Amino acid sequence: MGETPKSFRVGLIGTGRISDIYLTTLGKYPQVDIVACGSLDLEESRAKAQRYGVPRVAAPQEILADPDIDGILNLTIPAAHADVSMAALEAGKHVYSEKPLVSDLADGQRILDLATVQGLCVGNAPDTFLGVRWQTLRKLLDEGRIGTPTGCAAFVGTHGTERHNPNPDFYYQTGGGPMLDLGPYYLTAMVFLLGPIARVAGMANRAFDRRMIETGPRNGEWMAVEVDTHVQGLLEFSNGAAGTITMSFDIWDSEMPRFEVYGTEGTICIPDPDPVHGANIFQGEVWYRTRDTARWTHQPRPAGRDTWQIADTTHGLNEDSRGIGLIEMADAIAKGRVPRCSGALAYHVLEVMTGILQSPASGRYVTINSRPPVPDILPENFPES
Ligand SMILES: NC(=O)c1ccc[n+]([C@@H]2O[C@H](COP(=O)([O-])OP(=O)(O)OC[C@H]3O[C@@H](n4cnc5c(N)ncnc54)[C@H](O)[C@@H]3O)[C@@H](O)[C@H]2O)c1
């Protein structure tokens, strides 16, 4: 009889808001075992450990020093991503981090270089492109449903985070802002769908120099805004396709929240690609229209107001499954292949985002040098539960 393969043993650092969905998702699959958690606030970590059955709570340094831990799940705020990920690699552990990879390109390169030297793996969110929506979209493209892709557009307009997040400071500090916060979802999906991006340009501004927290114990407190909060980018893909991206914290509402891909024979549209409602971005309708159809075809086809048929692919996940990228990374490590949510992909997306943000000051296009591996569509049986 074969031995049951050992789970990938993970230490979680950062037990704030996003950790709940990770602990929920990871609790469903045997491939990854969260064996310890910690943060700057061990009371918060204790409460999460109790709720999700994590056996040990420890200071981040103790988690990093534990020889029985294979990998670190870094769910800290963006300003701490680089230090925690570097410390994980220095301690000989694989690391999977929330987005963005880091805020500064040089830090991103240091992380990738150290991982290579150490023979370790770096993985990074977002993993939303593993969801059924984006997998369906990719399948339609691969089938040639809209011919040759020639362009794409992503638009997400929000009014920021201070109305629902009691500690929204990091979204407005250096390293935050809508492009670094929301851009990774759409740019990662674009690279998954259309391949790498070769050059970019951008425009950006900010509507407010300070913003008020409007919820929780700090309700009424003002925060300084250090970054541009309305950002627009132009993208040229290596395959010649041209794209646009608008990410904003300065928009009260819009009828334009769309993600679209244009091709020589048709258009594919995701009508509500909203990362604030996590399930929305993993699942939901994909529409397409070709030269042969007068109307949008909805996939999955709505059978009634609140019943949905699953898209005609079993690839991808049909609920908010943040954390699934770590399971995919553990599988990749076991099989000696590059994970789909790779550090190289996250670095490329970071290079694109920083290029868009730097372009307004120089008034020039910015060349993107990195060429990450483009993830394959998921196999039918992923993840095995
Ligand atoms: N909140 C969301 O809706 C959401 C959604 C998607 C992705 N994210 C991403 O998840 C990450 C975390 O966001 P969040 O909303 O959970 O933040 P949060 O402020 O709620 O939690 C951050 C956690 O990191 C810990 N931490 C901060 N600095 C640390 C350090 N130097 N060492 C160890 N621990 C440290 C804090 O103690 C806390 O436990 C960010 O990268 C964010 O972009 C958040």
Mutate to test the pocket of ligand 1, among 75, 213, 341 (most ligand atoms within 8 A of CB): 75
- Stretch 67-74: mean pLDDT: 98
Pick the atom of ligand 1 nearest to 80's CA.
Answer: 31
User: What's the CA gap between 73 and 57, in Å, rounded?
Assistant: 14
Pick the atom of ligand 1 nearest to 181's CA.
Answer: 43
8 A C-beta contact, residue 122 and residue 94: yes
187 lines ligand 1 (CB under 6 A): no
- Stretch 195-203: mean pLDDT: 98
Give residue 338 CA to ligand 1 midpoint distance, Å. 26
User: Whose CA is closest to atom 8 on ligand 1?
Assistant: 18
- Cβ contacts of 224 within 8 Å, gap of 6 or more: 172, 209, 210
80 lines ligand 1 (CB under 6 A): yes
Provide DSSP, 293-329: -SSPEEESPB-SSS-BPPPS---SBSS--TTHHHHHH
Q: How far is CA 381 from the centre of its chain?
A: 22
320 lines ligand 1 (CB under 6 A): no
Provide DSSP, 91-128: TT-EEEEPSSS-SSHHHHHHHHHHHHHHT--EEES--G
Give residue 92 CA to ligand 1 midpoint distance, Å. 23
User: What's the CA gap between 241 and 236, in Å, rounded?
Assistant: 6
| Confidence band, pLDDT 50/70/90 cuts, at residue 316 | low
Residues 162-180 pLDDT 10s: 999 999 999 999 989 999 9
Which of 162, 155, 163, 249 is CA-nearest to residue 206?
A: 249
Give residue 293 CA to ligand 1 midpoint distance, Å. 45
For the cut 80, the answer to whether the pLDDT of residue 313 exceeds it is no
Give residue 151 CA to ligand 1 midpoint distance, Å. 34
8 A C-beta contact, residue 378 and residue 341: no
8 A C-beta contact, residue 157 and residue 248: yes
Residues 229-268 pLDDT 10s: 999 999 999 999 999 999 999 999 988 878 999 999 999 9
What's the Cα-to-Cα distance from 238 to each of 120, 163, 372, rounded to whole Å? Answer: 29, 39, 12
Give residue 15 CA to ligand 1 midpoint distance, Å. 7
Give residue 59 CA to ligand 1 midpoint distance, Å. 16
Q: How much of the chain is helix, strand and coil, in % rounded to 5? A: 30, 25, 45
Question: Residue 342 CB: number of other CB atoms within 10 A?
Answer: 21
- Stretch 345-359: mean pLDDT: 98
Give residue 235 CA to ligand 1 midpoint distance, Å. 29
Give residue 79 CA to ligand 1 midpoint distance, Å. 9
Q: Please state the pTM of the whole predicted model.
A: 0.94
For the cut 70, the answer to whether the pLDDT of residue 51 exceeds it is yes
Residues 101-160 pLDDT 10s: 999 999 999 999 999 999 999 999 999 999 888 998 999 999 999 999 999 999 999 999
User: Whose CA is closest to atom 15 on ligand 1?
Assistant: 17
Give residue 155 CA to ligand 1 midpoint distance, Å. 24
Q: Are strands 266-270 and 94-97 parallel, antiparallel or unpaired?
A: unpaired
60 lines ligand 1 (CB under 6 A): yes
| Confidence band, pLDDT 50/70/90 cuts, at residue 329 | very high
Mutate to test the pocket of ligand 1, among 63, 74, 77, 321 (most ligand atoms within 8 A of CB): 77
Which of 104, 76, 74 is CA-nearest to residue 89?
A: 74
Query: What pLDDT shows up at residue 381?
Result: 75
| Confidence band, pLDDT 50/70/90 cuts, at residue 89 | very high
- Stretch 31-51: mean pLDDT: 98
Query: What pLDDT shows up at residue 380?
Result: 75
| Confidence band, pLDDT 50/70/90 cuts, at residue 190 | very high
For the cut 60, the answer to whether the pLDDT of residue 305 exceeds it is no
Provide the H-helix boundaries in the chain.
19-26, 42-52, 60-65, 78-90, 105-118, 132-142, 178-194, 278-282, 324-335, 343-362
- Stretch 178-194: mean pLDDT: 97
Domains of the chain: residue spans and CATH:
8-128+321-341 (3.40.50.720), 130-310 (3.30.360.10)
Q: Are strands 197-205 and 366-367 parallel, antiparallel or unpaired?
A: antiparallel
Least confident of 39-53, 119-133, 161-175, 273-287: 273-287
